[in-house]
Amino acid sequence: MAFEPVLMRNVGVPNSTSLDVYKSSGGYAGAAKALAMQPGDVVDLVKKANLRGRGGAGFPAGIKWTFLPAERDITYLCVNADESEPPTFCNRITIESDPHMLLEGILIAGFATRTTVAYIYMRGEFMEQFHILQKAVDEAYAAGYFGRNILSSGYDLECYIHRGAGAYVCGEETGLIESLEGKRGWPRIKPPFPAVEGLFHKPTVVNNVETLACLPHIFTRGLDWWLSLGTENSKGPKMYCVSGPVNRPGCYEAPLGLSVRELIYGEDFGGGIRDGKKVKVVLPGGISMGALRGDTFPKNPGDEPDPTQDYDELDCRLDFDDVRRYGLLGLGTAAAVVVPEDADMRDVLLNLARFYAHESCGQCTQCREGTSWMYKVARRIAAGAGRACDLDLLVEVTENMGMMPGMSICGLPDGAAWPVRTIVQKFRKEFEEHIRAQSPQAAAEVIRRTNPAAYDLPILGPGHRLAPREVVQS
């Protein structure tokens, strides 16, 4: 397949962050084209391209822009550079290697939405990247790509970088808006959607870095090129990340629809697991989208994926539709973390549960309590004091939190529920084996040591299971 990378074409090019190098490979030509058009035509073109948001939810960017009210004086554009989903780093690569591609995308999106001020909300951990992007913004201002009367089109746009301070929930669009306004990053109840009432109570568009970075290429290379890439409902190139003990961890660009197996084993991608090991489990869309079984399991003899059977699921294609056939929440950020065959699933579960318990913002009760209880239960299992009923309890908790059962303001608890539920369901046998191998007395000691309040609890044998009613009532 002769695919020429566009989003990562300047990665590794010397001095690629400078305006001169960016312009030498056709930079800001897309913006020049777009600014010569009518804003409405720019929106139409992006709608036709079916550019779906690369930040996780996959909502078409062009349609998002049309939700802005027709009569408006001020519009804000928030650029979501809060990339905090582990293990995602494609936005970091874009900012580090090709910051002007992002800025050109901001200019095009800003012009299409008649934005007056664009804020780049950048996560606080990005230090080097902040200096690089700030330098690029200064350069772009000096060259007349921001400021007044850009490219003699009469369009004005200001662009500022706003640094976050370490909160996962600020990657949620309304959490980001609250944080920008100088408040804690608590997501807002929708509606009103940001397009109607967002930042400073004005119509606001929130777009991800990679979504915006795609825009210049749609204009320079044209709609036909764009639509020739990808699968039926997922068009265009995507930056895939793969990390963990693979031979070539990193970020790779390919058209949407790359299979997980290709991403891990392909010569041009991950290049296989170190020491010839096999994959036990892979979390292919950032950790929040759920888990797939690896090739330590037998191959699926049929064509249809069957999550109830213990089959290898690496043939899942990473686009916006195929992931759902495998029971994942969505494409997410298409950043895969590969867990090798010798890892203990109890540690994996503990790490994931800890992450969400730490990052839940605490606004909705079922998320605040659910994530911390998942953490407590995962800690108990990892300490060697798990009970078979704990696995039912974890599944029970995950089914009662999040936007899908209609219980929360934002999608964080859905993202917390999916990996925990899929891991518990798919690796239940392994967890049960560990629990069976525990001595009940030793387990009781662990519980009493870690939680003095549990001293009087009856010692439950490893085979003890709660009746379904008990779980519901608790």
**The 3-state secondary structure of the chain, one letter per residue:** CCCCCCCCCCCCCCCCCCHHHHHHCCCCHHHHHHHCCCHHHHHHHHHHHCCECCCCCCCEHHHHHHCCCCCCCCCEEEEEECCCCCCCCHHHHHHHHCHHHHHHHHHHHHHHCCCCEEEEEECCCCCHHHHHHHHHHHHHHHCCCCEEEECCCCEEEEEEEEECCCCHHHHCHHHHHHHHCCCCCCCCCCCCCCCCCCHHHCCEEEEEHHHHHHHHHHHHHHHHHHHCCEECCEECEEEEEEECCECCCEEEEEECCEEHHHHHHCCCCCCCEHHHCCEEEEEECEHHHCCEECCCCCCCCCCCCCCCCCCCCCCCEECCCHHHHCCCCCCCCCEEEEEECCCCHHHHHHHHHHHHHHHCCCCCHHHHHHHHHHHHHHHHHHCCCCCHHHHHHHHHHHCCCCCCCCCCCCCHHHHHHHHHHHHHHHCHHHHHHHHHHCCHHHHHHHHHHHCHHHHHCCCCCCCCCCCHHHHHHC
- List CB contacts of 289: < 8 A, sequence separation 6 or more: 283, 323, 328, 329, 330, 331, 332, 415, 418, 419
388 binds other proteins (CB under 8 A): no
Q: Which parts of 147-166 interact with other proteins (CB under 8 A)?
A: 158, 160-166
337 binds other proteins (CB under 8 A): yes
Q: Which parts of 349-378 interact with other proteins (CB under 8 A)?
A: 351-352, 355, 358-359, 361
184 binds other proteins (CB under 8 A): yes
Map residues 397-416 to x or -, x wherever contact with other proteins holds by CB under 8 A: --------------------
Sole binder of other proteins in the list 223, 343, 407, 454 (CB under 8 A):
343
Span near other proteins by CB under 8 A; candidates 145-153, 207-215, 245-253, 293-301: 245-253
Report in angstroms how near the CB of residue 408 gets to other proteins at its nearest.
Answer: 18
266 binds other proteins (CB under 8 A): no
Report in angstroms how near the CB of residue 123 gets to other proteins at its nearest.
Answer: 7
- Closest to other proteins by CB, 158 vs 369, is 158
Sole binder of other proteins in the list 5, 38, 40, 131 (CB under 8 A):
131
Give me the torsion for CA of 127, 128, 132, 137, rounded to 10°.
0
- Closest to other proteins by CB, 124 vs 440, is 124
Sole binder of other proteins in the list 31, 157, 329, 335 (CB under 8 A):
335
- Closest to other proteins by CB, 183 vs 190, is 183
Q: Which parts of 284-313 interact with other proteins (CB under 8 A)?
A: 287
- Closest to other proteins by CB, 68 vs 90, is 90
- Closest to other proteins by CB, 178 vs 319, is 178
341 binds other proteins (CB under 8 A): no
- Closest to other proteins by CB, 203 vs 216, is 203
- Closest to other proteins by CB, 210 vs 392, is 210
Report in angstroms how near the CB of residue 87 gets to other proteins at its nearest.
Answer: 4
181 binds other proteins (CB under 8 A): yes
Report in angstroms how near the CB of residue 83 gets to other proteins at its nearest.
Answer: 5
Report in angstroms how near the CB of residue 191 gets to other proteins at its nearest.
Answer: 22
- Closest to other proteins by CB, 70 vs 127, is 127
- Please give the radius of gyration of the chain, using alpha carbons only, rounded to the nearest integer: 24
110 binds other proteins (CB under 8 A): no
* Residues near other proteins (CB under 8 A), total: 61
84 binds other proteins (CB under 8 A): yes
- What residues line the site for other proteins (CB under 8 A)? 83-89, 91-92, 123-128, 130-132, 134-135, 138, 158, 160-168, 179-185, 200, 241, 243-245, 249-251, 283, 287, 335, 337, 339-340, 343, 347-348, 351-352, 355, 358-359, 361
